[in-house]
Structure 1
Amino acid sequence: MQYCGTEELLALHLEDGENLHLSIITACQGINLDSAVVLSGLGMVKSVTFGWYTGAEYVKKTYSDVMELVSLSGDVSFRQDGMYPHLHGVFSTPEHGLIGGHIMEVIAFRNIELFLKPVYTIHFNRRRMDAFEALIPEQRG
């Protein structure tokens, strides 16, 4: 993975076999960033695991096929066990069918390009709220 960050943008390039979530965490830690908005992501993947939240747990489904990442959104926040990239995405199959949802894991195939907007004046925390975990933005002191 290669990355470069400034106050206005964090850009990442993932290579074959790299984990999307772990790469985001590594790059954010590398520039001392704990809150960000995912602006966009595109490229190819060889595996994606989605999670569907039932209100009590995530039901996971993994697709182990080469697909194109055509849309990515989300945020990077902080929760009790560390940094958390909360990601949703849409992927295109070779037949141009689309699948998407809450992303639990993505493994890059050849190349993923990713862009994040650092947030320095607001701290994105996550806290348990009844049956789910929610983003709690807080003004920095």
Structure 2
Amino acid sequence: MEYYRNESDAFIRLEPGDFLMKSLMEFAKLENIDFAIISSGVGMLEGIEMGWFCVNNNDYDKYTIAGTYDLSSISGNISLFNGNPHPHIHIVANHPDFETLSGHLIDCRCHITMEIGLRIFDNEALTRKTKEGVPASFITKK
């Protein structure tokens, strides 16, 4: 992983084999980031694991996707959850036949390169929490 950061933005480039989630968590720890929005991203993915949130289990049903895909779109955020960086990401990716898949990303590896843009927010503003009776976690003011 290689990155550049200024006051409010960051650019991260991943190397082949780098895991996206691990890289984003490592970046957030190194740069002391509590909250950032993923503003853009392109690249090639492999080893994709997607998830569908099962409300009854309050967890994701996980699905492994074989093959190499082109990252067409990425959105989400990195927040602190129980004191640790927690990426929440959704992607759209296409296969060589232009068939697409989309949804919640559990994790993936960089195939050739990945280039991710981030918008960094004031570290005192937002956090991720849970609320009794509400499945999943959510972003709220600190």
TM-score (norm 2): 0.91
Deviates more, 1:10-19 or 1:79-88: 79-88
> What is residue 31 of structure 2 aligned with on the other side?
31
**4+ residue runs of structure 1 moved beyond 4 angstroms?**
none
Change (3 A) 1:91 1:20: same
Query: Corresponding residue for 1:136?
Result: 140
Partner of residue 79 from structure 1, selected from 74, 78, 81: 81
Aligned position for 1:42:
42
1:5-28 Cα distance to aligned partner (Å, 9 max, x none): 111211000010001011111112
* 8 Å Cα contact 1:76/1:124 also seen in 2: no
Counterpart secondary structure, 1:125: strand
Q: What fraction of aligned residue pairs are identical, expressed as a percent?
A: 25
Task: Tell me the alpha carbon deviations over residues 95-119 of structure 1, each in whole angstroms, 9 at most, x when there is no partner.
Answer: 0011010000011101000000010
Return the offset for 1:64: 2.3
Instruction: Give unmatched runs, 5+ long, in structure 1.
Output: none
Correspondences of 1:1-141 after superposition (within 5 Å): 1-55=1-55, 56=57, 57-80=59-82, 82-120=84-122, 122-129=124-131, 130-138=134-142
Alpha-carbon distance between aligned partners in 1 of 2:121 and 2:87, rounded to the nearest angstrom: 14
Give the TM-score normalised by the residue count of structure 1.
Answer: 0.92
- Report the residue type matching 1:47 in the other structure: G
Task: State the Cα deviation string for residues 62-114 of structure 1 (Å, max 9, x = none).
Answer: 11211001100001111115110110000001100110100000111010000
